[in-house]
Amino acid sequence: MQTRTWLRILLPGSVLMVPVCLLFLSIDKSYAIPAFSRQYQTSCTTCHLDFPKLNDFGKAFKDAGFKFPKDDENFLKIAPTLLGAEAQKQVWPKTVWPGQIPGMPPIGLRMNNFFQMTGSNRNQFNSLAAPGTLPQVIPGTDFETGFFSIFTAGNFGSDIAFWVDDDISVAGANANGGLGDGYLRFVNIGRFLKLPKDALTVRVGQFELDLPFTQARNINLSPYDIYSESNVGAISSVLPLSQNVNNLFTFATAAKGVEVSGGHTYGGYHYSVAVLDQNTSGLSQTSSPYVPSATGGANGGVGFASDSTFKDVYARFSYRFNLERNAESRNGIQAAGATGPRDHTYLNFGTFYLNGKSQQGLVGALPNGNPQLLYAREPYYRAGGDFSFNYRTFNLFGVYMVGHDNNLLPVDSKGDLIPLPLGSTTVPVGFVTSVPAKFNGGFLEADYLVLPWIMAIGRWDGVHSSADRINGLAFNTGTSYFGPVNSERDRFTPGIQFLIHPNIKASFEYQFRPKQSVLVVTDPVTGNQQAVNPFRVNTALIGLEFVY
Amino acid sequence: MKNAFTKLVVTALLSGALSLAAALPNSALSGKVTAGKGVSVVYIEAIPGKTFPAPTENVVIDQKGLLFQPHVAAVPVGATVEFLNSDKVAHNIFWPAISGNKKMSHNMGTWPSGQKREFKFDAAGVVPLLCNVHPEMSAYIIVTPTPYFAVTDADGNYKIANLPEGQYTVSAWHEGMKVQSKPVKIAADATLDFTLSK
């Protein structure tokens, strides 16, 4: 006789589909640099459409190493400080010595605040509290503060650019005290190798990977879901599928390593290849009491950032076709419009690929019973394609990506699979290859700059991960945001933004999120678990931010 | 005796006329405009019944270092202004109105670095120049009704030379200030000061 398995029943009656509070609030970074505005005495709109989104001139400015692509010295209103007299070039004619620093510290500051609205469905999560305990209070309306961030960028002359940004109010996204990016970029270093101009640039430090559409330049209040997706394999004591995959890598995480790149993002080809630390455990940097690290001696410094010796490799290639008929306009940084320069009408196609190998350590044993450390080294990849179409102030763009992690299941001395999660009684002696953990998804977004101070946005995000769903069901904790009723985690997010000033922005978005459920029953016929009380998770979000 | 008296009268009349004639082309109007930082423009308003030929030389306004150069220019009505782009970035020039008349707005479009475009100003008024790529850029062209005008120096001093004798209305313009007009009678060199306010 089958036993029905019930979770606590919350609401009798029909399914309700009303806005529900999300406990998860994503604060995306905004990388507009008011310091450049001060250095060049020019408006933010010279480089930004709707900060931080770059226009074509802003892309050229960034590609050139945070300076005007041509005759930069004629545009700088604050002269740089030379680190040696000009005549030093006669002493060392074939070096980049001595260089310069910006005449004033190129510092920008940013602050944002949020307000969100929920609906009565938020109280359905009260069922997740253990019996006899108080559930979390989820308010219907809520004001929240974001991060106070500092960022500085510029160039040191000799085509050497720099960037550092940090969330100084709290330990925000990325570890190490909220450090975002911190790197040096050697622009057009290929000139020393007689390569074509801008064919080779090197970047070293901590940086966001050269993604098709980055979180850093994302004008939305909420991030792109696919960039936040990690690959945690399904672990279920009920279902036959088990995946010993615990890869917490996401594209939203800053990389530590070195990148070579070339080409331009405002027309023609662009490529990048990065070698970066492997860290799929998601742990922050750890120090060793025995081995000193680059940041300090034994028992000192920040420690090691990698969780294995393997180095990941990320590569991207894209080509942008500017579509103006006039060749001079088509090849220019901006198109020559009848009423003034504007962004090109263009079509951009790209592809990207990341290869890694996660490493999970286990305390196992040799077949003779002697203790042995076992490491499940599971290669993984992320691969995808992207496109972008732009016509005047209308931009349609999207990404599709797949993720794949090999799956090594531990076995005991008899060769039998050991159920996951591992307990302390059964000692593994090796691994066997099993069903890989996969996911796929992407996003499609349309931005339209209605007026110079109004941006209309429509966006669709999708993440398809059956492992996320299985994990949510198996743990019987009710499906969290990452374990929806269906295996798809699609959402539609319309929004609108107002530039009160070029450096002050008010944003609104409404997130039509996928269905969730906190009531799961076991079908008496099939024995499968299914949700019988799904409800849609929606959020209304308002943001107010300023940079200066 | 009668002939001598006639000669005396004629001589006196001729002398007076000559003196008067000598005074007419040398009259100048000078003074000072107090209006804060920057230059001002002082000009003679339209003279009823008088028209003036368009100047033959063009005035040049350049775009260099994300700045219009000069920031203030004065040209007589009918003059042609050449707009040059000396920057290695794309610029645009447009004006939303002339003396508040939006029907007279115009957009010059975009042209490459090193090239120029011309525009002939057939109507008098204040022309605010803007760039729709770099909103911080601005300049002013004061199109004057007559060829009698002057741009002050940095201290506000001006001088309009070669003014014929007559009764005129003189106006002073400064960026951000109200235009002030005063009557003046020119019989010899004269002085006229202005103090402008918002």
| DSSP, residue by residue, A100-146 | EE-SS--EEEEEEEEEEE--GGGGGGGGGSPTTSPPPP--SEEEEEE
Interface test with B, best of A36, A38, A39, A42 (most B CBs within 10 A): A42
Whether A68 and B89 lie within 8 Å, measured CB to CB: yes
Residue A83 has a pLDDT of 86
* Residue B18 CB neighbours (<10 A): 10
Instruction: Give the best-scoring range by mean pLDDT among A242-246, A459-463, A510-514, A532-536.
Output: A459-463
What sign has the CA pseudo-torsion A524, A527, A528, A531?
positive
Chain A, window 72-101: residues with a beta carbon less than 8 angstroms from a chain B beta carbon: 74-75, 77
Given a contact cutoff of 8 angstroms between Cβ atoms, the answer to whether B95 and A302 are in contact is no
Each residue's pLDDT tens digit, B58-112? 999 999 999 999 999 999 999 999 999 999 888 889 999 999 999 999 999 888 7
For chain A, what is the mean pLDDT?
A: 83
Q: Which phi-psi region, left, alpha or beta, contains residue B192 (left: φ > 0; alpha: ψ -120 to 50)?
A: beta
Q: Which of A218-232, A294-308, A496-510 has the lowest mean pLDDT?
A: A294-308
Encoded tokens for A202: 């090197």
Per-residue CA distances from A194 to A190, A200, A536 (Å): 6, 10, 59
d(CA A44, nearest CA chain B) in Å: 9
Q: Which of A58-62, A93-97, A165-169, A300-304 has the lowest mean pLDDT?
A: A300-304
Residue A67 has a pLDDT of 92
d(CA A46, nearest CA chain B) in Å: 6
Instruction: Select from B92, B107, B136 the Cβ nearest to the Cβ of A41.
Output: B136
Each residue's pLDDT tens digit, B130-146? 998 888 899 999 999 99
Location of structure tokens 């019930």: A6
Residue A285 has a pLDDT of 73
pLDDT at B12 over 60: no
Given a contact cutoff of 8 angstroms between Cβ atoms, the answer to whether B120 and B108 are in contact is no
d(CA B129, nearest CA chain A) in Å: 13
> Residues A235, A237, A242, CA angle at the centre, nearest 5°?
35
Each residue's pLDDT tens digit, A419-450? 887 776 788 999 999 999 999 999 999 999 99
pLDDT at B114 over 90: no
Residue A170 has a pLDDT of 57
What mean pLDDT is predicted for residues A24-38?
Answer: 62
Q: How far is the C-alpha of B155 from the C-alpha of B158, rounded, in Å?
A: 9
Residues of chain B in contact with residue A453, where contact means CB-CB under 8 angstroms, are none
Q: Mention every residue, 6+ apart, whose C-beta is less than 8 A from residue A42.
A: A36, A75, B66, B134, B136
At A46, phi and psi to the nearest 5? -60, -35
Per-residue pLDDT band at A79 (split at 50, 70, 90): confident
Chain B: residue whose CA lies nearest to A339:
B109
Residue A305 has a pLDDT of 82
Q: Which amino acid is it at B95?
A: W
pLDDT at A175 over 60: no
DSSP H/E element including A442 = strand A430-451
Q: How far is the C-alpha of A220 from the C-alpha of A499, rounded, in Å?
A: 13
* Residue A66 CB neighbours (<10 A): 23
Q: Which of A132-136, A469-473, A501-505 has the lowest mean pLDDT?
A: A469-473
Residues of chain B in contact with residue A334, where contact means CB-CB under 8 angstroms, are 90, 133
List the one residue out of B141, B151, B137 whose CA is nearest residue B85: B137
Q: How far is the C-alpha of A534 from the C-alpha of A514, rounded, in Å?
A: 10
Whether A74 and B111 lie within 8 Å, measured CB to CB: no
Per-residue pLDDT band at A273 (split at 50, 70, 90): very high
What mean pLDDT is predicted for residues A512-531?
Answer: 77
Whether A74 and B132 lie within 8 Å, measured CB to CB: no
pLDDT at A524 over 90: no
Given a contact cutoff of 8 angstroms between Cβ atoms, the answer to whether A519 and A463 are in contact is no
Whether A336 and B111 lie within 8 Å, measured CB to CB: yes
Residue A269 has a pLDDT of 96
What mean pLDDT is predicted for residues A509-524?
Answer: 80
Residue A298 has a pLDDT of 55
Q: How far is the C-alpha of A92 from the C-alpha of A85, rounded, in Å?
A: 12
Given a contact cutoff of 8 angstroms between Cβ atoms, the answer to whether B134 and A48 are in contact is no
ipTM: 0.74
DSSP H/E element including A38 = helix A34-40
Q: Mention every residue, 6+ apart, whose C-beta is less than 8 A from residue A398.
A: A386, A387, A388, A442, A443, A444, A445
Location of structure tokens 């801008």: A198
Local structure of A291: helix, strand or coil: coil
Query: In this prediction, what percent of chain A has a pLDDT beyond 70?
Result: 86
